[in-house]
Amino acid sequence: MSTGTPLTLRVTERLDDRGAIARIRLEPVQGTLVPFTAGAHLDLHLVENTLDLWRQYSLCSDPAETGFYEIGVLKDPVSRGGSEAVHRLAVVGAELSVEGPRNHFPLAEDAAQSVLIGGGIGITPMIAMAKRLHALGRDFVLHYCTRSESVTAFLDTLRAAPFADRVVFHFDDGAADQKLDLARDLPAPAADTHLYVCGPQGFMDWVLGAAETAGHASGQVHREYFSADVDLTGEGFEVEARASGITVKVGPKDTIAKALMAAGVKLEVKCEEGVCGTCVTDVLEGEIDHRDQFLTDDEREDGDLICACCSRAKGARLVLDI
């Protein structure tokens, strides 16, 4: 569900690129676009027959562009239906209901050095970041990792970009010395060096683990997950929505969000995988079993925020400020 105010955007251009990635240009049906910052995403409302989903897609267009948004969407056969729906529905002339832009993955524009690492479709927010950093005249490098050159979307665009000399391609089927080597390609830790990573969960875990081992401070390492494998099962517990005056039981195969919404509590949920942060809720009492990929380690240690779509209680009860 969503409680925001959607915009109606029209698909004005679509390019089916390498690697089953659709590059989709969206323009307003009426009015003008809301400006966005590098790292931002759009929430698309996908409705078709019995399908009713919200999914998030990063903006890859230039933040300085005011006439259109562009997103890149991978047609993933193992997804929960969102990406395949976009590929079916986002044809030229189609109108889509959209919320945003929102930015949970902001760029530190004043960094002395920025290292952007995109795996597969995780390249999309990195392209917007590279465009912004180039416009600012900042020092940066963009590492783009894919299985093969033949499935590398945006290849021609990036090779022709004014910052092409800052882009390094890494293909899994290429020569050993051109593959991403984190011992070689990560810079030394520094307070004014920032790292950004986006891509499949295994790829991200590998890069983030290497950055931590190398000594990069958590505040200088930024991440965005497109999806995550989440274990939603566990022992039952009780949740009190104090502001609403409602208490519910969350069963072993239920989620906090579903239990609260079934009881009439208004809670905005979109990704259902703990990656977008839409459902983050304040916790007043109780110990949290964090299962999301959105909150930072510091936020988890504080123990006062929970992603209600996937995380659970460690004890018998949680009290939420909702």
DSSP structural state of residue 154: T
Backbone angles phi, psi at 210, to 5 degrees: -65, -40
Asked if the structure places residue 108 within a domain, the reply is no
What is residue 293's predicted lDDT score, i.e. its pLDDT?
Answer: 80
User: Strand, coil or helix: what is 309?
Assistant: coil
The total of structural domains in the chain comes to 3
Asked if the structure places residue 316 within a domain, the reply is yes
Contacts 24+ apart (CB under 8 A), 229-234: 229/201, 230/273, 230/274, 230/291, 230/292, 230/310, 231/291, 232/291, 232/310, 234/289, 234/312
What is residue 5's predicted lDDT score, i.e. its pLDDT?
Answer: 73
Nearest 5°: the CA angle 203, 208, 213 is 130
HSE-up (13 A, CA, CB side) for residue 244 = 17
CATH of residue 204's domain is 3.40.50.80
Nearest 5°: the CA angle 49, 53, 58 is 130
Asked if the structure places residue 91 within a domain, the reply is yes
Domain-terminating residue out of 74, 102, 130:
102
Tokens of 302: 């504080």
What is residue 101's predicted lDDT score, i.e. its pLDDT?
Answer: 96
Find out whether the peptide bond into 28 is cis, omega within 30 degrees of 0: no
3-state helix, strand, coil in the chain (%, to 5): 25, 35, 40
CATH of residue 20's domain is 2.40.30.10
d(CA 253, CA 9): 37
Q: Which domain holds residue 211?
A: 113-225
pLDDT tens per residue across all 322 residues of the chain? 344 578 999 999 999 999 999 999 999 999 899 999 999 999 999 999 988 888 999 999 999 999 999 999 999 877 767 899 999 999 999 999 999 999 999 999 999 999 999 999 999 999 999 999 999 999 999 999 999 999 999 999 999 999 999 999 999 999 999 999 999 999 999 999 999 999 998 999 999 999 999 999 999 999 998 766 678 788 999 999 999 999 999 999 899 999 999 899 988 887 787 888 889 999 999 999 999 888 888 889 999 999 999 999 999 999 999 9
What is residue 2's predicted lDDT score, i.e. its pLDDT?
Answer: 41
pTM of the model: 0.82
What is residue 269's predicted lDDT score, i.e. its pLDDT?
Answer: 84
Say yes or no: 122 and 168 in one domain.
yes
